[in-house]
Amino acid sequence: MPEIILTDVTKRWGNFYAVEHLDLKIENNAFVTLLGPSGCGKTTTLRMIAGLETPTSGRIVIGDRVVFDSEMGINIPPNKRKVGFLFQNYALWPNMTVYQNISFGLTNIKDIMPKVSFEARVAARIIEIVKDWKKIVDIAKDCLDKKGQINKDKYHLKLIDTYTVSLMTAKKLASYCFDTADNPQEKADQAVAEMEKIIAAENAAAEKSGCSLNENYEYVKNGEVVQEKRKLSKEEVDLSVRRVSRIVKIGMFMDRYPAELSGGQQQRVAIARTLAPEPSVLFMDEPLSNLDAKLRLEMRSELQRLHLDTGSTFVYVTHDQMEAMTLATSICLIDNGVLQQYDAPLTVYNRPNNTFVADFVGNPSINFVEASCKAKEGALECKIFDNYKVIFTPNEKLDLSEWQAKDRELDEEKERRRKEQLADKHNVEKGNKDVRFKCHIAKVDESEIEEEREITDNDLIIGIRPEAVKISTKGTLEGEIYSAMPTGMETTVRVRIGDYLITGVIFGGITYKLGQKVKLNIDGDGIMLFSQRSGRFITTGTLK
């Protein structure tokens, strides 16, 4: 399975930049979610990789193949990129059965493939299976109905699943009636002889055309497998349909029409249809957003399993951070066309690059607390909530003034690059300018307009995940319950401290009275520190 590399990819319409200078390496066999607020450029990124949208500039490589390069004038069409799509509106064809829906695309594929004697291949498989005819008898016994009659559909499906064969082969196996024959061994011997005859005839036919058949029953000439442009055989189509149906567990619905299926089952058919041509990369654009919450959860776990079973590279667009967190091996978080972070979900959660990322992932959202800090003996002494003095101890050694200097350098570098781009006459200035994310400081009264004040190097932001807020009689911060929302498994509480609100999540269904006085601590070493000036992540630590 291939890796996907995007180098300096930009897409703009006029001076509107949907995607700006994006560098991204999607590892082989990864499950990457493209995450970000509505309109940030997720779908555009996906469509550019898939070939449905032409980038303004940049280069895209899938596996060892350059599929787009603006300078070299390469732009491979989507149907030649060996990728599969699954979109939100996955419309199945209503006048076709499930089987036809899945197989339709396969029957249209015409490609260079090895020339194969399917007759000989199937015959060899049948020989292998009937040698152990007792197992077939056991399967038949499993498919008897209450009246002792064999349920043919069930029998065929079991044969298909047990031996990974096509329906045609399953029917052939059933036709030997080993379960009812007087002398099944004799029947099996006859079947073997019949199949050997077929193989001999196919070998002879191959030799007549100057070829031989290899162990996979492919034609070989001068030591090379013969390639031909052909359609998939009925056998190959059926095998593919059965394979994917097994993966998404819809084998029993093959003859039904979409209207006779539930939403979730239809969704699985759509997934099977996408998987059938064995795409090495699968693109999905919010494929679960039409489903109800329960089904969505179920399908999420199916997708995770599917990723493992198929070994394909998955690229998945979503604006649902929970979906991105639970499914992905890596999250690519975009804002206003600019990549904010590309990391494993827990890294994004625990070490977000900036306040935007910290705010975007996590539900309930992270608490941002304004802090005025000064360095003191390897730690920071900070004033929060107007009058509380706390000590932030970083997990790693921190030289704040050195960090601030580097932070400024990064801004200067960014500004230099912007000016360089402006000077380039081919460049168009970005109309949709990046706006610096402003942290939301939760307050009881948010109606008063805050006066703009100058931010100094001492002004930092402390980020506290709700699970770090611990209500305890030994707590040192004093507040009162502003709201409490128990869901059964956990309770989300908002505590008022002076004019400020802080959100905590407490395990279990605890009942609090509004206005009740409580004490709390900020627990653990996962407390984050950000620059208030740039919003960038500084470090993690503890708060006392």
Which residue number, 83 or 191, has a Cβ lying nearer to ligand ATP? 83
Does 12 interact with ligand ATP (rule: CB under 6 A)? no
Which residue number, 54 or 107, has a Cβ lying nearer to ligand ATP? 54
Min dist CB 340 to ligand ATP, Å, is 13
Min dist CB 95 to ligand ATP, Å, is 30
In terms of Cα–Cα distance, which of 367, 364, 380, 383 is closest to 496? 367
Min dist CB 43 to ligand ATP, Å, is 3
Does 331 interact with ligand ATP (rule: CB under 6 A)? no
User: From the list 6, 18, 244, 269, which residue makes contact with ligand ATP (rule: CB under 6 A)?
Assistant: 18
Min dist CB 319 to ligand ATP, Å, is 5
Which residue number, 302 or 335, has a Cβ lying nearer to ligand ATP? 335
Which residue number, 250 or 334, has a Cβ lying nearer to ligand ATP? 334
Min dist CB 475 to ligand ATP, Å, is 40
Is the preceding peptide bond at 287 cis, omega within 30 degrees of 0? no
- The rounded distance, in Å, linking the Cα atoms of 236 and 274 is 16
Which residue number, 16 or 93, has a Cβ lying nearer to ligand ATP? 16
Residues in CB range of 473: below 8 A, 6 or more apart: 519
Which residue number, 37 or 311, has a Cβ lying nearer to ligand ATP? 37
Residues in CB range of 2: below 8 A, 6 or more apart: 28, 62, 63, 64, 65, 280, 281, 313
- The rounded distance, in Å, linking the Cα atoms of 49 and 256 is 35
Q: What is the 3-state secondary structure (H, E, C) of 125-184?
A: HHHHHHCCHHHHHHHHHHCECCCCCECHHHHHHHHHHHHCCCHHHHHHHHHCCCCCCCCH
Does 319 interact with ligand ATP (rule: CB under 6 A)? yes
In terms of Cα–Cα distance, which of 527, 530, 221 is closest to 357? 530
Min dist CB 104 to ligand ATP, Å, is 28
Which residue number, 282 or 332, has a Cβ lying nearer to ligand ATP? 332
Which residue number places its CB atom closest to ligand ATP? 43
Which residue number, 10 or 43, has a Cβ lying nearer to ligand ATP? 43
Please return the burial class of 294, using the count of CB atoms within 10 Å of its CB with bins 0-12, 13-18 and 19+: exposed
- The rounded distance, in Å, linking the Cα atoms of 168 and 238 is 8
Min dist CB 16 to ligand ATP, Å, is 6
Residues in CB range of 255: below 8 A, 6 or more apart: 97, 98, 99
Number of residues that bind ligand ATP (CB under 6 A): 12
Min dist CB 46 to ligand ATP, Å, is 8
In terms of Cα–Cα distance, which of 334, 355, 282 is closest to 529? 355
- Which residues ranging from 25 to 84 are in contact with ligand ATP (CB under 6 A)? 36, 38-44
Tokens encoding 5: 């590399």
Binding stretches for ligand ATP (CB under 6 A): 13, 16, 18, 36, 38-44, 319
